[in-house]
Structures are given as structure tokens and as C-alpha cells.
Amino acid sequence: MRYYETFYGVELTDMSKSFGKFSNHHKLLVKDYKSEACRESSYSSATDSNKFLYPHHIKKTYFIEGTISGHITLVASGCTSHVTDYKVSVCKMNADNTDVELFTTGWVSVDIDLAWNNTYSVGEEAVIPFEIDAWEKEKLTEFDRIYVKVETTSSYVSDGCYTQLWHENNATWEDLKIEIPFILP
């Protein structure tokens, strides 16, 4: 039987976890949003390699198999930007600090212009859905932790602006959402 778990990517200023190479890490995968009163960072530069760690045990031994689905939210900041590619990966970190990319969308070409409105200082956003076929069963153990890595490439009209990856701690928007199918033996 498959068990589907939904995770949300957030960056909480006053909550951090450590595991392997992740030391005092604030970008986390959570099952439920925390109080909106929590201090947070709502966004990161989308051109960084953003990693969201789920620092807890799921079970001593479990597998990921099925279709992984979700979406990411990108926003213009400071000027119009053009998003050309994105990649979403589900990875694991072993206790010995070995990173393994389990499943990925691969680099997906998109052609998205995100406008910036100088009058209101607000950027246009794009919610990009994705699906990943995870039909080669991956085994994980109590010594592994999963994380989601989001990468994009984009270009800008001028310096001093960038594309943002949104990960606000707000259930209304669900900026970064991913559903992962597990098999729990």
C-alpha cells in the first residue's frame, strides 16, 4: 500500500535542524504550516540551489515509489525577469554525508516572463506544477533523511534584481508543495 505525504517548504528563522552536511539548517519540509506569527524568510534567490530538509524519521525502513507531484512559486523582484529552466529533485542525505539524488524532473525548459510593477513595487508570480515518475523503488533507512532541491535559471533586464523562489509559511498560498508516495513495509 502506498502512503502519500504532503510537505511544504518553509524557512523559519527561529527553528533549525541539523543532519549530515545540514548544520543549523532553516529551510525545512514541514507537514503542517506553523503559526503565521513565526519569524521567517518568505523567499530566496531562485538561482541558488535551495534545499529543504525533512529532518525526521519516516520509519526505520521505507521506500519511495509512485508519482511525486507538486508545485513551486517564482516571483520577479526589482525588475522583469525571464525564467528559462527549472529542476526539482528529491534527494537523500546519509548519516555519512553522502548526497544522493533519488528522483528528478531533470532540467525542464520554460519560457516565462515575470513582470515587475514599479508603481506598486510588486512582481508577477508564476506557479509551476511538476510531476516526477518514481517507478524505480528507492530504499531509505533510519540513517537517511530526505530533502527537496529546487534550482532555476533566469535572466534579468538590469542588475540589482532577481527571480525569487517563494516559500512563505502561509497555508493560503502553499508556495512550495510536494506530495511524495511512500511504501511502508
**Which domains are assigned to the chain?**
2-183 (2.60.120.260)
Query: What is the rounded CA–CA span in Å between residue 134 and residue 180?
Result: 9
Residue 161 burial class via C-beta count within 10 angstroms: exposed 0-12, middle 13-18, buried 19 and up: middle
How many CA atoms within 13 Å lie on the side-chain side of 55? 14
**What is the 8-class DSSP label of residue 14?**
T
In 3-state terms the chain splits into helix, strand, coil percentages (rounded to 5) of: 0, 65, 35
> Can you give the pLDDT of all 185 residues of the chain as single tens digits?
789 999 999 999 888 888 878 888 899 999 999 988 889 999 998 888 899 999 888 899 999 999 999 999 999 988 888 899 999 999 999 878 888 999 999 999 999 999 988 888 888 999 999 999 998 899 999 999 999 999 999 877 566 678 999 999 999 999 999 999 999 88
CA distance 150 to 116: 23
* 119: Cβ contacts below 8 Å, ≥ 6 apart: none
CA–CA–CA angle 35, 36, 39 (5° rounding): 95
Supply the pTM of this predicted model.
0.92
Which residues touch 143 (CB under 8 Å, ≥6 apart)? 94, 95
DSSP 8-state class, residue 56? S
